[in-house]
Chain A
């Protein structure tokens, strides 16, 4: 009889401790979440980051923006151009009527109504409040539906193992990636331009202007007011964050 009551009270004590432990761990994880939420500076809908590309300043033989982007994000040539990542590419055009030639960089257009975000089954493709379209590397299952859906061919599927990755741009075989608008620079809040714009300015072309489309006093907004800028495939009504002049 004695041993039975002992074992009951021991079980009770054990359950009480287990309950306390559970409550403590729930409280601590809640606190951690709260702390992390309060310290992280999230993207804000106050801004909408975008690019304005002046094709008149973009030179046909120049690929400084492509090289700059590749260096920044650790995108190495694999020797297989068809399967390597292409965050940004150069296109040379000729007008069918006038014969006028122009050149431009093409990258993720950071659409407000992004088809890649719509079609992604797991929500790995997402748009931040500040308009930057990204891929969550932890939930991308590599279905490539977003690559199919992107009207700009701006997304790349990673076909092989990647070595020498940079911490600012984690990448992974079997997932999809695209231009991040150098989101690490945006989040660092140091006023740095994206790598493509920086490389373009370094080569004295200044064809790529980065800025806040929501701020009427920003240089990009003022330029957009002055020049006739277009959206590529404006017929799709995607409200792109990247605009072009001189096309």
Chain B
């Protein structure tokens, strides 16, 4: 067994240059979109006073949740002592930091008054889950920085399990907090559920592992040093469990909603209304069935079976899981606002001067897409920068 060593990742080549250029353009475009939205006001977006949280929130929540899950490899190695993930610990923590910054950036730039960020970090209402999240996000960032430091310093090796455990507990709190942002909204039928917190934890495991798998495959390609088969198969196994668990929570969530009569309208919207296509195709087919089928094939195949096919399956399954995760977040956030709030049980609303009849419509604008992708680009740029500046990438590994 060769000793574990790390290096800075400094890829060259036209393709890499193009990739970085694309990310920079997307990041700048995202900032421009945010500036325009802030300057002109949110009326240029698809958001209204019925749908006040739009696509930027879908991007922000997806990124933040994925950030928490991206720490999986580090947690597996440091806390559960799974040696196969040790070479990827630093990368895993760096990705978590990057995605979190990207997500929080989108969240902040979508505020009505992003210039008042200083107010958000100096005035706290501790009854608000949002306030807790300010601490959860900053705490997570600090923990991850310390975690990376310990991972890089030989003299702190004996402390890694402790910091890893702290980060694991913290990220579970973080995703619980994110889930609770929605779970505490008692006035909205589709959200009023304690199940959202554990569902967001599982969602983070799925999307975080998927994002990390894609990054590790890309890094391996740039290093011309393929991921070991064992790693590909282990990631496949993890993903299967996580995707299956997400499916379980989604089924329980919808079954309980269907059971409660007052939630029937919001369930109809998701299962058979304007959100149905995204739910059934985006989440169930692409996000659940697709990855499960592809990854099961990987596990059924012999260990020595075609490596490239196994790798490609993991790649497609991860991309599909990310699309599925984002679709689920969209259905949860937008779906909860599109359906009319029921104020008068036993009565039909005949007319309203402001949107109590029928479902609202929401069409995300280009500004929102721009800001969302800008956040993703900023996250990925930070990740590239971290890998370039610090020895976070494992060198050739053989056992």
* A→B interface (CB under 8 Å): 60, 63, 66, 78, 80-86, 89-97, 101, 106, 115, 117-124, 139-145, 147-153, 156-161, 173-176, 232-233, 236, 247
Do B124 and A233 touch across chains, with their CB atoms under 8 A apart?
no
Cβ of A147 and Cβ of B49 under 8 Å apart?
yes
- Answer yes or no: B123 CB below 8 A from chain A CBs: yes
Contacts of B116 in A (CB 8 A): 139-142
Known: A118-B128, A148-B185. A83 touches B42 (CB 8 A): yes
Q: Which interface residue of A89, A153, A157 has the most chain B CB atoms within 10 A?
A: A153
- Shortest beta-carbon distance, A174 to chain B, in Å? 3
A175, closest chain B residue (CB): B112
14 further A-B contacts with Cβ under 8 Å, apart from A173-B112, A176-B112, are: A83-B43, A85-B49, A86-B49, A118-B128, A122-B120, A123-B124, A147-B49, A148-B188, A151-B187, A157-B49, A158-B112, A161-B41, A175-B113, A236-B186
A96: which of B114, B341, B346 is its contact (CB, 8 Å)? B346
On whether the beta carbons of B346 and A142 are closer than 8 Å, the reply is no
Q: How far is the CA of A17 from the CA of B348 in the complex (A)?
A: 74
Which residue from B43, B111, B348, B349 sits with its C-beta under 8 Å from A80? B43
B343 x A143 contact (CB < 8 A): no
Q: In the bound complex, do residue B123 and residue A123 qualify as a contact, i.e. CB atoms below 8 Å apart? A: yes
Complex CA distance for A115 and B356, rounded to whole angstroms: 20
The reply to whether A160 and B40 form a contact with Cβ atoms under 8 Å apart is yes
Q: Are A159 and B43 in contact (CB under 8 A)?
A: yes
Chain A residues lying within 8 Å of B134, measured Cβ to Cβ, are 121
The contact of A119 among B184, B344, B352, by CB within 8 Å, is B184
**Which residue of the partner chain B has the closest CB to A235?**
B345
Tell whether A150 pairs with B187 under 8 Å between CB atoms, given A83-B42, A119-B130, A121-B128: yes
B49 near A83: Cβ-Cβ < 8 Å: yes
Tell whether B38 is near chain A: CB-to-CB under 8 Å. yes
Q: Are A121 and B131 in contact (CB under 8 A)?
A: yes
Is B337's beta carbon under 8 Å from chain A? yes
Cβ contacts A to B, 25 pairs, < 8 Å? A60-B351, A83-B43, A86-B354, A91-B351, A92-B352, A93-B347, A119-B127, A121-B124, A121-B131, A122-B124, A123-B123, A123-B124, A144-B52, A149-B184, A151-B186, A151-B187, A151-B341, A159-B42, A159-B49, A160-B40, A160-B42, A160-B43, A161-B41, A236-B186, A247-B344
A119 CB to nearest chain B CB (Å): 5
Contact B343 A147 (CB under 8 A): no
Contacts of A159 in B (CB 8 A): 41-43, 47-49
Contact A92 B351 (CB under 8 A): yes
Contact A143/B355 with A119-B184, A122-B120 known, Cβ cut-off 8 Å: no
Task: Tell me the nearest residue of chain A to B340, going by C-beta.
Answer: A153
Q: A66, A82, A121: which contacts B130 (Cβ < 8 A)?
A: A121
Least Cβ–Cβ distance between B370 and chain A, in angstroms? 18
Chain A positions within 8 Å of B280 at CB level: none
B111 touches A174 (CB 8 A): yes
Identify the closest chain A residue to B45 (Cβ): A159
Q: Does B125 contact A (CB under 8 A)?
A: yes
Bound-complex Cα distance A158 to B341 (A): 20
CB pair B353 A123 closer than 8 Å: no
Q: Is the CB of A91 within 8 A of B113?
A: no
The answer to the question of B230 belonging to the interface, with a C-beta cut-off of 8 Å to chain A, is: no
- Nearest B residue to A63 via CB reads B353
B117 sits at the interface (CB 8 A): yes
Partner of A174, one of B113, B348, B356: B113
Cross-chain contact B41 with A139 (CB below 8 angstroms): no
Instruction: Judge whether B341 and A153 touch: CB under 8 Å.
Output: yes
The docked-state distance in angstroms from the alpha carbon of A175 to that of B341 is 22
Instruction: State the CA gap A149–B188 with chains docked (Å).
Output: 8
CB of A45, distance to nearest CB on chain B (Å): 19
What B residues does A97 contact at CB under 8 A?
346
**Residue B350 lies at the interface, judged by CB distance under 8 Å to chain A:** yes
- Docked CA distance A53–B84 (Å): 68
Chain B residue at minimum C-beta to C-beta distance from A156: B49
**Measured between alpha carbons, how far is A91 from B53 in the docked complex, in Å?**
24
Q: Which residues of A contact B117 (CB under 8 A)?
A: 141
Residues of chain A lying within 8 A (CB to CB) of residue B351: 60, 90-92
Chain A residues lying within 8 Å of B125, measured Cβ to Cβ, are 118, 120-123
A159, B265: Cα distance in complex, Å:
28
Chain A residues near B352: list those with CB within 8 A. Answer: 89-92
Segment 202-244 of B: residues with Cβ below 8 Å from A = none
- Measured CA separation A97–B345 after assembly (Å): 11
> Quick one: which of B41, B129, B350 contacts A173, CB cutoff 8 A?
B41
Decide yes or no whether B50 CB sits under 8 A from chain A. Answer: yes
Docked complex: B109-147 residues within 8 A CB-CB of A: 111-114, 116-117, 119-120, 123-125, 127-131, 134
Task: Please tell me if the beta carbons of B130 and A144 are within 8 angstroms of each other in the complex.
Answer: no
| CA–CA, A141 and B131, complex, Å | 12
